[in-house]
Each structure stands twice: as structure tokens, then as C-alpha cells.
Amino acid sequence: MIIHKGQPPIQPKGATDVATAKTNQPERHSQIRQMVQNKGFITIDQLAREFGVTPQTIRRDINALSKAGLIQRYHGGAGIGSSTENVAYNERKVLCYEEKRQIAQAVAAQIPDNASLFINIGTTTEAIAQALIQHKRLRIITNNLNVATILSANQDFEVIVAGGLVRHRDGGIIGEATIDFIQQFRVDYGIIGISGIDLDGTLLDFDYREVRAARAIIDSSRKVFLAADHTKIGRNAMVRLGNIAEINTLFTDQALPQALLEVVNQAEVKLVVA
């Protein structure tokens, strides 16, 4: 280190940034937690730009917050929840609301009038139901009471509700009777949501009973549309539904991580970024 008389010592490159990062760390941690709660998932690059620090600093922040059980660390970012339990339904309804609305509009644009379709459980599929309301002569089979309520407002639609056990927290219908009912049909489009997509293309969810119903929808549809906002990418969930290769079109709101994009391209899955 070179010291000039009467002048402060010259700091090593990056020392000021490190000192500032340490000084602001408690406030940054609090803000990171709040951003994760608001968005559901946020990337390391987004956080680094937001706070004007390096990605390495953000990774250390995420590791510390994750060890404290305050957020969940994921590949490329941070989110809420765990691999065994989903976020509460009322929280999911407001998470990424605008992104889900945009995805829903993109899905609805691909559904023609006079089509038959399945719609499964989830807040994103409920947004899709809202986007479909102006279509004509749709025949919809659903295991989601909220979807049925939304679409029954159009008297031109025929809405068929699957039997089974009603899940109180979100109006989802699950169980053996649900699967048996779904398997009676063969429809034009199966529209499903998902809790997580691993970077190798594995589709993941939290409730094995919900997964079995979604599996029946995939097997009973001529084309399958998967709607998933960016918070679902790289997110952990415990139950395996299938693989992205079984999907015809993936609808999302941000560019995919390179690893997943390669899987999608190799499987020749159409990608629509709303």
C-alpha cells in the first residue's frame, strides 16, 4: 500500500464496496425478505442490480437468510416456501398477479371457440379462466370449484365439475373419484398449472393427490398447455408429476434459465413468453 503524506491511504480495489455492503447488510436482508414475499421469487442478478452490490454478496445474503429459515434458496435466486408445503392460497392469489394475468391472456389467445378443455387446480389456471370468459361455446371440465364459478358466468359455456373430495383451502377437487371422472373424457386442450419446474425439466408439485389428477388430465388431452410464472422455475416441490417433454406448450413470463431452455428446445416444446 502506498501512503502519500497528508493524504488518506489508497484503498485496495473493491474494499469500499465490501465495507458498504457490510454496513448495509441488516437493511438489505430486511429488504430482500420483503421483495421475496412480494414477488414469490427473485433472481440473484435482479437483487444485485437493485442493491448495487456483486452477485457474490447477494449469494452470501441468501445463504444467511436461508440458514435462518427466513427464505428459501433456489438455483439462481431466492423464493418462499419449502419442498413439502405450498404457500397459502390467499398469498398465492396476489403473488405475481400481473404476470399471471399476462400468461392467462397468452393461453386464452391459443384456445379457439368451440373447443373442449380441462382446467386444473391453481391460481394461474383461475386467471386463465378469467381470460377465457369472452370465448364462445367452450366445453370445460375442471376439478377447481373457483374455475367452475368463474366460467359458469358465461351461459354459452358448458361447465362440468369433477366429483371427489373438495379441498377447503382452495376449492380444488381431488381423490380417486376425480381421477376416474377425468379418465372418461378425451378433450382438445388440457390446461394445467404447476408448483415447480426443475432445471432438468421435471414437473413438481406438493400434493400427490393433486398430481394424480393433473396426470390424468395430461393423459386425456390431445394438447397440453402448461402455465407457470417465473417463480415456479427451479422451485423445489416433493412430488413428481412428469417431464416437460410431455407438454406441448409452456407459457411463462420471463426468459428461461439456459439449462431449462436447452431441455425445452431438445424436447421440441413450444415456448411462449408473455
Query: With 70 as the cut, is the pLDDT of residue 204 above it?
Result: yes
Domain limits, CATH 3.40.50.1360, in the chain:
89-273
CATH code for the part of the protein at 15-79: 1.10.10.10
Q: What is the pLDDT of residue 232?
A: 86
What is the chain's mean pLDDT, rounded?
86
What number is the average pLDDT over the span 205-215? 90
Percent of the chain residues past pLDDT 90, beyond the cut: 61
Each residue of 24-44: pLDDT tens digit? Answer: 888 899 899 888 876 667 889
Between 239 and 70, the more confident residue is: 239
What number is the average pLDDT over the span 132-137? 97
Query: With 60 as the cut, is the pLDDT of residue 80 above it?
Result: yes
What number is the average pLDDT over the span 61-90? 71
Q: In the CATH hierarchy, which fold is given to the domain comprising 89-273?
A: Rossmann fold (3.40.50)
User: Residue by residue, what is the 3-state secondary structure of the chain?
Assistant: CCCCCCCCCCCCCCHHHHHHHHHCHHHHHHHHHHHHHHHCEEEHHHHHHHHCCCHHHHHHHHHHHHHCCCCEEECCEEECCCCCCCCCHHHHHHCCHHHHHHHHHHHHHCCCCCCEEEECCCHHHHHHHHHCCCCCCCEEEECEHHHHHHHCCCCCCEEEECCCEEECCCCEEECHHHHHHHCCCCEEEEEEECCEECCCCEEEECCHHHHHHHHHHHHCEEEEEEECCHHHECCCCCEEEEEHHHCCEEEECCCCCHHHHHHHHHCCCEEEEC
Q: Of the ranges 12-16, 148-152, 224-228, which one carries the lowest mean pLDDT score?
A: 12-16
Please state the pTM of the whole predicted model: 0.71
